[in-house]
Chain A
Amino acid sequence: MSLLEVDSLTVHYLTAKGKVHALEEVSFDLKKGEALGLVGESGCGKTTVAMAIMKLLAPNARVLSGKILLRGEDLLRKGEEEMRKVRWKEVSMVFQSAMNALNPVHRVGDQIVEAILAHDGSFSEEEAQKRVSELFALVGLDPNRMRDYPHQYSGGMRQRAIIAMALACEPSLVIADEPTTALDVVVQDQILGEMKRLQMDLHLSLLYISHDISIIARACDRMGVMYAGQLVELGPTQKVLEAPLHPYTRGLLNSYPSLRGPKKRLRPIPGEPPNLWEPPEGCRFHPRCPRASEICRSSCPPVVSLENGHFARCHRPRS
């Protein structure tokens, strides 16, 4: 059975300008010990997926339909108090490194101790401190710096601390939302390697969220591509990269330089992502799609599977 199953999740935001169709019928699953990546441009709904799983959506968000099953239990049906126990204990998050995710007025170590004590009553203060120093060692930080404040850390160290914090309660699922975006390339590489190693060692399930296809390609077993609030393609990383089914995925790959492969011409996708107040009729990608036909303009494509475990939401997937 899958650890996490997201089933046709639809989320809207109510704003002064109208309804934002942020997520439309998004479905995927994540097995124990697996790393799944979600890639897409900013504003495509990636972070909304993460926040919906944590049940931390903004107050103006409305979940219209769908289920989020964690070990078969629907998180969307849980009350606030039950959900509080799921957070961090079952599902934790590695926040965007660019974010100000650590509280500036508290010691880094204390912020992790706090998470442990909030979820496990059997820990004493000292045991929790000891656990944090183990976690620091695990993510490659000097345990002597537990008593430092966030501003005394470098960007890379802060990101490691956030990873240590995410692992504090031994969660079964870790969601990493742009875990390396604001870091320089060398540090980015170290952090990614670190996360890969931890995933193997601790047998973690990871949900990566990034706009950077190369990170997803390196870190994930399977990947999904999101466009304008829909999951347009999902499959094993290798397959998606080598034989993409959806025209958007192909466009995305063409607009990315490859470090190792042969030199190629970069071709950006023409047009701009649609505004989600009034998403296009039919397939949301059709205004920018080179292969769009009459049916693409009128009806929303179903999810089709061409090969085992490789899906696309397209009327005319490349066969």
Chain B
Amino acid sequence: MSSREGKRTNSSKPRHRAFPRTGIRWLRHLEENWRIYRSNPMGMAGLVLLALFGLMALASFIPPLIDPIYDPMSGVDPIIDTSTGPSWRHWLGTDFMGRDIFSQLLTGARVAFMIGISAAFMAVAIGTLVGMTAGYFGRTVDTLLMRLADIIMVLPGLLVILILSSVVGRLSIWNLVIIIALFKWAGVSRVIRAQTLSLSVRPYIEAARVAGASHARILFRHILPNVLPLSFLYMTFGVTSAILIEAALSFLGFGDPSTVSWGMMLQWVWKTGHMFKAPYWLIPPGVCISLITLSFYLVGRALDEVLNPRLRKEVLEQ
């Protein structure tokens, strides 16, 4: 037993774990992975927070059913025409038009999940496909796709979306989701490509090729299951950045005017000059955006540890 080996056995994760773990094994070991995940208190905290936000999103349907004055967009309280502080009638007070802030906050959670999950899902789907294609076919295909990814990665996404909206006008929430996905696939594709490169020299891929399997079959039957866990991990990171882009865009006044989001709430409190007098309005949306970011980040980090402790960290930061 050498001292360095001794050190290694002591730490919870080995330095060189068999990389990559296969997707099928990953599913089979779901129970064990859950055990590893559960031992990470930060990851569990993230999961609990996410569950709370999920509850908020579900609860967002309730207030308008109680009384139309609680509708987050159109529900103006007839006896209130200005921003008021918390009360029994309005738990978090009302905004400048007398709309219920608590109800807006709940709807914000639903919108955040909708945007975050759909944009991240699309980004990861595109990124996985592009990354697999680039890594598997190599050569010109690889060079072209990765150059494209490089260009997208040096573009400041938020500002590009600003420019876009100056040309085509206000973006609806679903257009925004698509555009965010078009910006966020690049980072994912780099990682998936690297993974595919290391997979495609594996003997079993070689064997499949010799046995006459088509490119599509090799890509989807042999490579895809092995890169899916990584894609899944990147989805948790993608959700945050999509939520943040939408929030920032809404905050700057370029959001979809037909929905309410946390960023939009901050824009209202800022632009209507209430930020110094209505802390009950200023604080909740910001806390929500920050906490949802934190929770996805914590969940992602914990998943990262479960799936692959040696991932390059710098790409994860974006």
Q: Report the minimal beta-carbon distance from B112 to chain A, rounded to whole angstroms.
A: 39
Chain B nearest CB from A131 CB (Å) reads: 31
> What residues of A have a CB within 8 angstroms of the CB of B6 in the complex?
13, 15, 20, 22, 48, 57-58, 60-61
Task: Check A42 for interface membership: any CB of B closer than 8 A.
Answer: yes
Q: Does A47 contact B (CB under 8 A)?
A: yes
Q: Determine whether the beta carbon of B7 is less than 8 Å from that of A20.
A: no
Closest residue of chain B to A177 (Cβ to Cβ) is B2
Query: What residue in chain A is nearest B6 (Cβ atoms)?
Result: A13
Does A58 contact B4, Cβ atoms closer than 8 Å? yes
| B3 at interface by CB-CB < 8 Å | yes
- Closest A residue to B7 by beta carbon equals A58
Contact digits for B1-30, partner A, Cβ 8 Å, 1 yes 0 no: 111111101101000000000000000000
A56 contacts which chain B residues (CB < 8 A)?
3
Q: Using an 8 Å CB-CB cutoff, how does the interface string of A55-72 with B read, 1 for contact, 0 for none?
A: 011111100000000000
CA distance A61 to B9 in the complex (A): 11
B81 vs chain A, min Cβ distance (A): 64
In the complex, what's the smallest C-beta–C-beta distance from B281 to chain A, in angstroms?
50
For B5, list chain A residues within 8 Å (CB).
43
Nearest chain B CB to A273 CB, angstrom units: 10
Which residues of the other chain, A, contact B3 by a CB distance below 8 angstroms?
47-48, 51, 56-58, 61
A58 to B6, alpha carbons, bound, how many Å? Answer: 7
Residue numbers in B under 8 Å from A60 (CB-CB) = 6-7, 10
Q: In chain A, residues 55-103, which have Cβ atoms closer than 8 Å to a Cβ of chain B?
A: 56-61
User: What range describes how many residues of B lie at the interface?
Assistant: 10 to 19
Number of A-B residue pairs with CB-CB distance less than 8 Å in the complex they form: 51
Closest to B5 in A: A43
* Chain A minimum-CB-distance residue to B12: A16
B118 to chain A, nearest CB (A): 41
Tell me if A43 and B2 are in contact (CB < 8 A): yes
Report the minimum CB–CB distance from B200 to chain A (whole Å).
Answer: 28
Interface size class of A (residues with CB under 8 A): 20 to 34
Complexed CA–CA distance, A44 and B2 (Å): 8
* Chain B residues within an 8 Å CB radius of A42: 2
Task: Give Cα A51–Cα B4 distance, bound, in whole angstroms.
Answer: 9
Which B residues touch A20, using CB under 8 A?
1, 6, 9
Bound-state CA distance A14–B7 (Å) is 9
A47 to B7, CA, bound (A): 13
Query: Contact between A43 and B10 (Cβ–Cβ < 8 Å)?
Result: no
A283 to B6, CA, bound (A): 23
- A15 close to B10 (CB less than 8 A): yes
Complex Cα–Cα for A136 and B140 (A): 47
- Any chain B CB within 8 A of the CB of A231? no
Contacts of B10 in A (CB 8 A): 13-16, 58-60
Q: Are B1 and A43 in contact (CB under 8 A)?
A: yes
Contacts of A160 in B (CB 8 A): none
Bound CA span A66–B196, Å: 52
Residue numbers in B under 8 Å from A229 (CB-CB)? 1
Answer whether residue A112 sits at the interface, using C-beta atoms and an 8 A cutoff: no
Q: Does A246 contact B (CB under 8 A)?
A: no
List the A side residues contacting B9 at CB < 8 Å: 13, 15-17, 20
Q: Mark A32-45, 1 if CB is under 8 A from B, else 0.
A: 00000000001111
How many whole Å from A272's CB to the nearest CB in chain B? 15
Task: Give the Cβ gap from A99 to chain B, nearest Cβ, in Å.
Answer: 9
Q: Are B12 and A59 in contact (CB under 8 A)?
A: no
A219 to chain B, nearest CB (A): 20
Once bound together, how far apart are the Cα atoms of A46 and B4, in whole Å?
12
Within 1-50 of A, Cβ neighbours of B (below 8 Å) are at 13-17, 20, 22, 42-48
- A276: Cβ under 8 A from any B Cβ: yes
Chain B residues lying within 8 Å of A14, measured Cβ to Cβ, are 10
What is the bound-complex CA distance between A41 and B3, given in angstroms?
15
- Report the minimal beta-carbon distance from A102 to chain B, rounded to whole angstroms: 17
Q: Which residues of chain B come closer than 8 Å to A58, judged between CB atoms?
A: 3-4, 6-7, 10
Measured in the bound complex, the distance between the Cα atoms of B133 and A157 in whole Å is 42
- Listed in ascending order, the chain A residues whose CB lies under 8 Å from chain B are 13-17, 20, 22, 42-48, 51, 56-61, 229, 276
Extra contacts, 13 of them, besides A13-B9, A15-B10, A42-B2 (Cβ < 8 A), are: A15-B9, A16-B9, A17-B9, A20-B6, A22-B6, A43-B2, A48-B1, A51-B3, A57-B6, A58-B6, A59-B10, A60-B10, A229-B1
29 A-B pairs within 8 Å (CB atoms) are namely: A13-B1, A13-B6, A13-B9, A15-B6, A16-B9, A16-B12, A17-B9, A20-B6, A20-B9, A22-B6, A42-B2, A43-B1, A43-B2, A43-B5, A45-B1, A46-B2, A47-B2, A48-B3, A51-B2, A56-B3, A57-B3, A57-B6, A58-B3, A58-B4, A58-B6, A59-B7, A59-B10, A61-B3, A61-B6
The 6 A-B pairs at the shortest CB distance, nearest first, are namely: A47-B2, A58-B7, A13-B6, A51-B3, A22-B1, A60-B10
